[in-house]
Structure 1
Amino acid sequence: MKELFQKYKTVIRFVALFLGTYLVLSFFYAAYLKYFSSEAFFPDFITNLVAKQSASLLESFGVNTFLTPDNLGQGMLLTIENKYSVSIVEGCNAVSVIILFVSFIIAFAENFKKTFLFLFAGAVLIYIVNILRIAILTVAFYKYPNYENMLHGVVFPGIIYTMVFVLWMVWVWMLKPQKAA
């Protein structure tokens, strides 16, 4: 048994760091959702901020939006052109995607500065792409309501998770020892 641990030490380390980081961050996020709810920032601060930033982005492109709490759906209703609304709920804020991203990077962590900078840059990129994703989805749902299930269930999750995968591959490539010229 000791031989197996020695042989697969790197894999065991990766899995332990990945799962440990994922579980710890998920625990803290769940605690945040449970204990830091606010009437001023319904349903929670991060989701509220994502909804406001998505609405602002659409407004900057001349789309008439209206944002209101959706107590029934536990999110924020983003209405465009006073006709069509989407509900931005906690699952839309990209925190769970960022937790997944961070867990992988920490599992392959190298030096602190390099890891921290990549984590920060990647999390910011994921957050920004998520705001763009919500804005584009809102307009796409408005213009193409027949494709709502495909857009929400396949296309846009595929885009955000593909981006996370590419960031992971960039991280692994950055860690690869470079050959001397």
Structure 2
Amino acid sequence: MKNYFTLYKPFLLFLGTFFLTYIVLTFLYQRYLNGFEENKIDAITTMVSYNTQWVMQLFNDQSFIEESATHPYMKLFFNDKYVARIVEGCNAISVIILFISFVISFSGKLKTTFFFIFGGSLLIYVLNVLRIAALSALIFYFPKQEPFLHGVLFPLYIYGVVFILWLIWVRKFSRYASKDTK
């Protein structure tokens, strides 16, 4: 049994660090969400909504958001037509938590890890806002394609970006990155 732990120590450390980080960050985020009244939108989702509105108004001045009076979401309008709602799950925080957990599991130097987490999280946030804006416009023009767009294409887009960031992290900055310079 001791040989098993010795042999798989790096993998077990990765798993332990990943799950511990993921659980702690998820717990903290859930505590944050619990601080809001039942039918109130959290501040991060509200910020994502306003940023999405701003992006959409760059291309279409008949785009806007409106807070639901009875439910915790923002209604998103494109060409004055209600096309989507922005709920807590649209704010990409769960994706950012997943990203951060992986980077910490393969952590490198503290300063590099911090800046990569900050830069990667910011990139994910911005790309998520662009994703919501594009998805809303596409739903307006192709309403029958909404299940494919929302359920397949755009998750592939956001998780694809996270996967590329992970590859960059592991290959260039983590403690396992190749130190060879040619």
Report TM bin, short chain: over 0.9
1:153 is the counterpart of 2:175? no
Query: In the alignment, what sits opposite 2:44?
Result: 46
Query: In the alignment, what sits opposite 2:135?
Result: 137
Counterpart amino acid of residue 156 in structure 2: G
Query: In the alignment, what sits opposite 1:59?
Result: 57
**TM-score, normalised by the number of residues in structure 1:** 0.94
CA contact 2:64–2:78 (8 Å) conserved in 1: yes
Query: In the alignment, what sits opposite 2:6?
Result: 6
1:35 is the counterpart of 2:29? no
Query: In the alignment, what sits opposite 1:78?
Result: 76
CA RMSD of aligned residues (A): 1.6
Q: Deviations over 1:32-88 (max 9, x none)?
A: 00014598xx41000001011101111112341231112455210011222233100
Relative to structure 1, the CA distance from residue 103 to residue 43 in structure 2 (aligned partners, 3 Å threshold; closer, same or farther) is same
1:109 is the counterpart of 2:110? no
DSSP-derived class of the 2:178 partner: coil
Q: Which runs of 5+ in 2 are unaligned?
A: none
Query: In the alignment, what sits opposite 2:21?
Result: 21
Question: Identity rate of aligned residues, in percent?
Answer: 41
Relative to structure 1, the CA distance from residue 38 to residue 53 in structure 2 (aligned partners, 3 Å threshold; closer, same or farther) is farther
CA–CA separation in structure 2 for the residues paired with 1:180 and 1:164: 26
CA–CA separation in structure 2 for the residues paired with 1:92 and 1:109: 27
DSSP-derived class of the 1:64 partner: coil
Query: Which of structure 1's runs of 4+ aligned residues deviate more than 2 A?
Result: 36-39, 70-74
CA contact 1:73–1:89 (8 Å) conserved in 2: no
1:179 is the counterpart of 2:180? yes
**TM-score, normalised by the number of residues in structure 2:** 0.93
CA–CA separation in structure 2 for the residues paired with 1:76 and 1:95: 17
Q: Which runs of 5+ in 1 are unaligned?
A: none
* Matched length: 179
